[in-house]
Structure 1
Amino acid sequence: MTMRHIVLFRRKLDTAKDAALEAALAERMAALGARIPVIQGWKFAANELARPICWDYVLEAEVADAKALDEYLFHPLHQALVADLKPYFEWAAADYTA
């Protein structure tokens, strides 16, 4: 069994769009999975359809178990990225055993 961590991101409604900042943050999110050893699978993608229900980005991470998920969540590289994401994005997450 593995644990999956799914996160949806969207620009905060009260935050002006900054294409350069958003591209840099998205690039960092896409690359993070290769930099943290407990990550077994990593997918990051931009939303492709303009529907009101859709968020801007989706992240799908796979780890061995809840302990590995905690290692990822509290890893310094993840924590640094979260600090930079907070002013620009809001997010929703779900974690489940697959």
Structure 2
Amino acid sequence: MPTRNVHLTEHLDQFISAGISSGSYSNASEVVREGLRLLERREREDQARVEWLRTAATDAFDSIDRGEGTTFDSMEELDAYVRGVGAEVFADEAVRRRA
């Protein structure tokens, strides 16, 4: 297994020590590997969000080009619509995380 030397801040060193002291991890390598796994997962999720946004934007612009856009009579209506779309996105994300 490859090894690397990494310089840590005092805070991160203490964080690793606390994880080992608590019994959550056996050694510093386990802590670092877990952190890297979480970072890798977050980057995958971020990329999925970007792809979703690109698709949603393309679909929205295509809809507008076809004359199917949505009009709003007030900022309140627009705000409510945007909040509803946001709730859908979070719900979709929650379903994906459970899968």
Specify which structure has the bigger relative contact order, considering alpha-carbon pairs within 8 angstroms and separated by 6 or more residues: 1
Structure ID, larger Rg = 2
- Larger strand proportion, structure 1 or 2? 1
Task: Answer yes or no: same fold by TM over 0.5.
Answer: no
How does the TM-score come out when normalised to structure 1?
A: 0.32
How does the TM-score come out when normalised to structure 2?
A: 0.32
